[in-house]
Structure formats: structure tokens, C-alpha cells
Structure 1
Amino acid sequence: MKSIIHFLSVVLFLFLCQTHPTLGQTNQRKQYVRVSPGVELYYVEAGSGTPIIFIPGSFGTTNFFQKQIAYFSKNYRAITYDPRGQGQSSKTLENNNYLQHGADLKTFMDSLKLKDVILVAHSWGSLAVYAYLRTCGIDNIKAIVFVDASPKVIVEQDGEWGQVKSFNDMRIFYNGMGYDRLNATKAFIEPMFTKPLTATETNWFVEEMLKTPTHVALLLDYDGTMADFTKEARMIDEKIPVLHVLSDKLGWTEEGKDWLKKNAPHAKVTAFGLHFMLWEFPDRFNTAVNTFLAED
């Protein structure tokens, strides 16, 4: 009887580790780094060697990268952090913009004494990377992976690559976030996956994203929408290895491929899944990133 109970306990634990993203984590160090007076960034790291930093997108948290930390910590010093205003990091009334996020990234790297860093940025976390490049250059960067993000968000003329193509797109999103945050966040999450999430999965993603206060979310939304890092995207071409992981099912994917061919022809591109392919197809995502790093 005891052996049966033990077997069932193991099965239950393994099941929970698969269905609940924060269970089953081992050898992860969870700490804080002070990046400015009164502002601390929460971060998680595991492994050793060349540092690879995973940067969440809008309202994202360290928990979104658990499948990457587990995989890459075998051969790298794998790190992910909550940007200011998000997750378990400090919440502020001011400086909720991507130029500040870029400055925070610099201070974060300096505080941990990280050298020859690999950056993997999901969605608008890429804007923090571009902001870092604008002010700090590429001297301490070994390679960059941008995950389903364009350097400019608003499409103002033919041939540009971005997600916002009309004022109405902006109005619908901002009104939802400002007046009905819970349902707007659910609606925001649903199109990011190729298969419907369970109610438990949806609630977990919503809970993580709602850790970003609404005032911070709206400020980041506005700043990100207005961003234009076209010059930085062109500047780094051929100077450092760059991989763009795109969705193959979104309307702006082909525009992105065309734009990169003309403006950053040395960047590598792969496309699969939807916006959260790093979570939905972790094996394929991790292999694509690992192969890119091994080649370069």
C-alpha cells in the first residue's frame, strides 16, 4: 500500500509541475537588484557561464520564461527579471517608459557585472533592448534575439513594419485597458496562442499581467506605441548576430520579413506559432535560439 501511495504522489507532483508553471523549479536563485533610488528589480537566475538575459514584454513577468531558464541554465548563466512596474519589481509613478527600461537594463547588467551578454527580448521587451542600444551601443552585447517585435509600432506609410495601423486600433486597446482592465487583459491574451487556453491557464496569465498596475500599463502602452527604433535596428545589422523569431500566423509577419530583408539583411529570421510561441512551443523555440547561438 505504501508503494502505491508513493507512486501516486509522484505522479500527482509531476502532473502539477506540468500544469502549474511555478512548481518543480530547482536551483534557481531569486533576488533583487537596485537600479535607482527606491527602485529594485526582481530577478531569477540559474546556471553559470555566458550570461543570457530573457526580458519580458508588456506586463510580462519572470514566470513567462520558466521553460527557457530550465533549458538554457544547463549551458549558460540564464537570467530573467521583472522590468520596473511589472511582476515583483518596484512600482513607480514616474519613469514608466522604455528609455528608462533601457537604462535599467544597463544598471542591471553593471550591478551583476555581466560581460558579453546575450539578450532575448519578447514582444515590447525588445523596445527596452533598442533603448539600451541607443544610449549604450553594442560593446557589451554578444547577440540579440527579438521575439515577435518590430522596432517601430505605428505604420505611417507603405513598406513599414508595425502592429498599429489605424487610430481605431489604438482607441479600442486604450479604452479597454483604462476602463475594463480585467476583460481587456483576457482579450489581449487570447490571440497569442494557436490553441485555446484552459480557464486555469488564462486566469494564471491574467493574474501575472495584472501585477502591472493600470497606470503603469497605460503609460507603457502609450510610450511603446509612439516608439521608433528604426535607426537602432539598422545600426546593429552585421555588427552583432541578430535573430528575429516571428509568428507565422499574424498579419504583419510578411511585412516584417520584407522590412528585414531591406533594412537588416544580415539578421536571421525564423517563424512559427503565434505571439507566445516561447511558451506554447518551448522545445522548438529553445532549439531555434540555441542553434542560432551555436552558429554565431
Structure 2
Amino acid sequence: MPLIQCNGADLYYEDHGEGQPIVFLHGATAGLRYFEPQLMGLSNEYRTIAVDFRGHGRSEKSELGHTLGQYTRDVQTVLEELDLDRIVLVGWSMGALISWEYIHQFGTDRLRAIVDIDMEPSPVKRGDYEYGTYGTEDLEGAIDAIQQDPIGLLDEEAEALLKDPPTRELRNLILDEGSRTPPPIQGALLFGLSFIRDYRELLRSVDIPALVCAGADEKWRSVASVKYAAELIPDARFELFEGSGHCITVEEPDRFNRVLSDFIESL
């Protein structure tokens, strides 16, 4: 099993194909399996790479380091270990936040472009911000549910994450990947949202091209809030996926692969 030692934790990763490197960053309590249609479907044209963050998927369930800042430093270690450059960095949900945090910490020297899959500039409600998925009460309720009934919460998420009722395959993916992240780690990540950076100003300063994708039937945040990210980035393209909720890469994998490939070929 391929592992990279990153700042005190062994991280599982997959690396397929050759050519232009695309690095996929998954969402919270998810894993790189959400990118299987991309890792294999695009590997004939590109080098496709994905990593399970610490505490997720097949990576080590370390006691420490469960912040966006540390996950970002882990990503930098992976890029260095694999000697990657001119990367297209694709972040889904929390993974998009980590791609922005990467630019905040390390700049864009290693990057050729970024892709935001269904994330707004700040998932936290703010006084001067008309969007935002979570308020204090929302975070408290989610942390309480994680501690009392984590499997029941995952089952609810299986319905909320997708546009259509989940197939058995997708339900199993959501439950299996979600249950690989221990509840204390899930709670730490949610608690960390209370202090998350507001990325509006950073997005205004992004100096590389971007693709922003939104699921039309997203149940957690509005299409307008995701589109707002594209409006902030100087050189951004927006794409709406009518057949998707939050999980575009597995709900419309063929179309997503075409859109991503077209974007890369336009760079």
C-alpha cells in the first residue's frame, strides 16, 4: 500500500498515468475513493494523484494535526515527495478550502490552475457575508450528532449529499468512507470551522486560472454562493452540473471529466 510519511502521519495515496499532474483533494469525512472515476478515467491523458488526509480513508488515524493548516502542510509534503510541479489542484468541498489555504501558505509557484468543486468562499456565516452554511448553532448540533449517533448522521448525509436517492453503491461509498474517520476527528474538524479563514480576499488575489463547479441540487449551500467564488477569482470559469448535488465527481463523472479535461487543454 503506497504511503508517504507526512509530519508524523502515514498518508495513503494513489498515483496513475503520466503527463500533466492533477492532484485531487477530498472533502471532510470522505476519501480519495470519491475520485476513482477521475483517477482511472483521466489517467490515459494525465498523471492523476489523490491522497487521503490524515484521519481519513486508508491514512493513519493520528491523534494530532486535524486542522486545515496541518492538512495543507501535509499536501505540500506529498507534492515535494512526488516532485510535482505545474499542478492542477482540484479541491472538492473541504478540499477546496485546503487548496485556498495552500495558496495562502505556499503561493502558486507549483500550481498551474485550481479547481473548486462546490465550495463557497467561507462556509461559516459572517456579519458582512450574505452566504454561509454554518452558524454557531449549526456547528454545535453537528458536533452533538457526531458524538451521539455517527452512523445515523452518515445515513442522513447519504440522502443530503446527492441530488437523487443514493444507489446502493453510492450509499455504501458514503457510509464506508465516512465511518473510516473516527468521531473525535470529525468533531475536531467541525470545531475548527468556527475559526476558519475568510477566503474572499485571497480569491481576489489568485493569479492562476480557475474552474469553479457547482451542483444544481446542492442541499447544503446555494449555487449562488459557489458562483460567488468564481466571481471573486480574476480568471475563473463557472460550470453548473444540473444532475448533481454535492458529489459531482461521482454523480456526473463522465461530464465532470470532460469539463476538467477541456479546462486543462485551454490553459
TM-score normalised by structure 2 residue count: 0.92
> Is the contact made by 2:23 and 2:90 (CA closer than 8 Å) also made in structure 1?
yes
Deviations 1:24-49 (A, max 9, x none): xxxxxx51111123x11100111011
Larger Rg: 1
Where does 1:31-50 land on structure 2 (aligned, <5 Å)? 31-37=2-8, 39-50=9-20
Runs (5+) with no aligned partner, structure 2: none
SS in structure 1 opposite 2:99? helix
- Moved >6 Å (runs of 4+): none
Aligned to 1:117: 87
Structure 2 residue 250 is matched with structure 1 residue 279: yes
Determine which of 244, 257, 266 is the counterpart of 2:212.
244
Once residues 259 and 107 of structure 1 are traced to their aligned partners in structure 2, the CA distance between those partners, rounded to angstroms, is 27
Once residues 172 and 22 of structure 2 are traced to their aligned partners in structure 1, the CA distance between those partners, rounded to angstroms, is 29
SS in structure 1 opposite 2:2? strand
Once residues 215 and 108 of structure 2 are traced to their aligned partners in structure 1, the CA distance between those partners, rounded to angstroms, is 26
Aligned to 1:54: 24
Once residues 247 and 34 of structure 1 are traced to their aligned partners in structure 2, the CA distance between those partners, rounded to angstroms, is 34
Structure 2 residue 154 is matched with structure 1 residue 191: no
The letter of the residue matching 1:244 is: V
State the identity %: 26
Once residues 246 and 146 of structure 1 are traced to their aligned partners in structure 2, the CA distance between those partners, rounded to angstroms, is 9
Instruction: Compute the displacement of 1:88 (Å).
Output: 0.8
C-alpha RMSD of the superposition: 1.7
Q: Give the direction of change, closer, same or farther, for the CA distance of 1:161–1:235 in structure 2 (3 Å limit).
A: farther
Aligned to 2:264: 293
Instruction: Compute the displacement of 1:213 (Å).
Output: 0.9
Determine which of 96, 99, 103 is the counterpart of 1:133.
103
TM-score normalised by structure 1 residue count: 0.83
Instruction: Compute the displacement of 1:93 (Å).
Output: 1.4
Q: Give the direction of change, closer, same or farther, for the CA distance of 1:218–1:141 in structure 2 (3 Å limit).
A: same
Once residues 234 and 206 of structure 1 are traced to their aligned partners in structure 2, the CA distance between those partners, rounded to angstroms, is 36
SS in structure 2 opposite 1:226? coil
SS in structure 2 opposite 1:203? helix
SS in structure 2 opposite 1:271? strand
The letter of the residue matching 2:233 is: A
Once residues 154 and 72 of structure 1 are traced to their aligned partners in structure 2, the CA distance between those partners, rounded to angstroms, is 33
Structure 2 residue 142 is matched with structure 1 residue 173: yes
